[in-house]
Amino acid sequence: GAGVSQSPRYKVAKRGQDVALRCDPISGHVSLFWYQQALGQGPEFLTYFQNEAQLDKSGLPSDRFFAERPEGSVSTLKIQRTQQEDSAVYLCASSLGAHGELFFGEGSRLTVL
Amino acid sequence: DQQVKQNSPSLSVQEGRISILNCDYTNSMFDYFLWYKKYPAEGPTFLISISSIKDKNEDGRFTVFLNKSAKHLSLHIVPSQPGDSAVYFCAGGGGGADGLTFGKGTHLIIQP
């Protein structure tokens, strides 16, 4: 497809489990962003990649969160030892540059029990 | 510290009338602002943007106004249609940050 693709769309994890969320950006988009959206809130910045380089990870809430984009295309957000407060929609977005319009995927909804 | 604030969690407007969604910001370094629209179970989609050097941008039924001195922007939708019912997010860009900084959103409900 032509848009940003995320999988899985829905993930239920038991507390303490590790999860991995995948993002396939629009082809040719250099920049890739991960956002976390809790219920009733706006998207909150987690991390930013320019090609394969992670240029900003200031929004990652703890060292249990890890993101990678090894070949400058597909990205994976990994959450280790999930906790209930990690329950949220994780949105991936891509763009041609670091600024301007972001194109979002449909998100991965994580529920931690 | 919330840099982008949308103080109305929800807004109900009659079909055919004007919808006005408001947004305030504290970061005077933002270079541009965008409005996104979000339906349930979908990702946000871009609606309209405005550069910080402009005070108005219009695209069909959608107009965004920027008042830099008041650090305030608004989105006008006229006439409002049932398909406009969604959550609207205001976002600021630039200002030394990567990507966009979002408000909490306003849920617009268009009444028939």
Mean pLDDT within B78-87: 97
Q: Which residue has the tokens 């510290």?
A: B1
* Average pLDDT of the residues in B2-9: 94
CB contact under 8 A, A45 and B31: no
Residues A67-81: pLDDT tens digits? 999 999 999 999 999
User: In the predicted model, what is the mean pLDDT of chain A?
Assistant: 95
pLDDT reading at B109 higher than 90: yes
* Best mutation target, A102, A106, A108, A109, to test chain B (most B CBs within 10 A): A102
pLDDT per residue as tens digits for the range A78-105: 999 999 999 999 999 999 987 889 999 9
* 3-state DSSP helix/strand/coil % of chain A, to nearest 5: 5, 50, 50
pLDDT of residue B98: 84
Mean pLDDT of B17-27: 97
Rounded mean pLDDT of A46-66? 96
Coil, helix or strand at residue B83: helix
CB pairs under 8 A between A and B: 62
CA neighbours closer than 13 Å in the CB half-sphere of residue B32: 17
Distance CA A84, CA B81 (A): 38
Take residue B82 and report the two structure tokens written for it: 């049932």
Name the 3-class secondary structure at B71. coil
How high is the pLDDT of residue A1? 54
Interface of B with A (CB under 8 A): 4, 6, 9, 31-32, 34, 36, 41-46, 49, 89, 91, 93-94, 97-105
Residue A61 pLDDT grade (very low, low, confident, very high; cuts 50, 70, 90): very high
- Specify which residues B45 forms β-bridges with: B37
Residue B95: pLDDT over 80: no
Q: Where on the phi/psi map is residue A60: left (φ > 0), alpha (ψ -120 to 50), or beta? A: beta
| pLDDT for position A10 | 97
Q: CA nearest B88 in A: which residue?
A: A42
The strand ranges marked E within chain B are 4-5, 10-14, 19-25, 30-38, 45-51, 56-59, 62-67, 72-77, 86-94, 100-102, 106-111
Q: For B25-61, what is each residue's pLDDT tens digit?
A: 999 999 999 999 999 989 999 999 999 999 999 999 9
By mean pLDDT, which of A101-105, B90-94, B96-100 is the weakest? B96-100
Measuring CA to CA, which residue among B93, B59, B91 is closest to residue B78?
B59
Q: Which chain B residue shows the shortest CA-CA distance from A36?
A: B102
* pLDDT at residue B101 greater than cutoff 60: yes
Q: What is the percent of chain B where pLDDT is above 90?
A: 92
pLDDT band at A109 (very low <50, low <70, confident <90, very high): very high
Percent of chain B whose pLDDT exceeds 70: 100
pLDDT (average), residues B66-83: 97
Using DSSP, state whether B50 is helix, strand or coil.
strand
Residue listed under structure tokens 């693709």: A5
Residue A77 sits at φ, ψ, to 5 deg, of: -105, 120
Q: What is the pLDDT of residue B45?
A: 96
* Cα A76 to Cα A20, A21, B37, B90, distances in angstroms: 6, 5, 25, 27
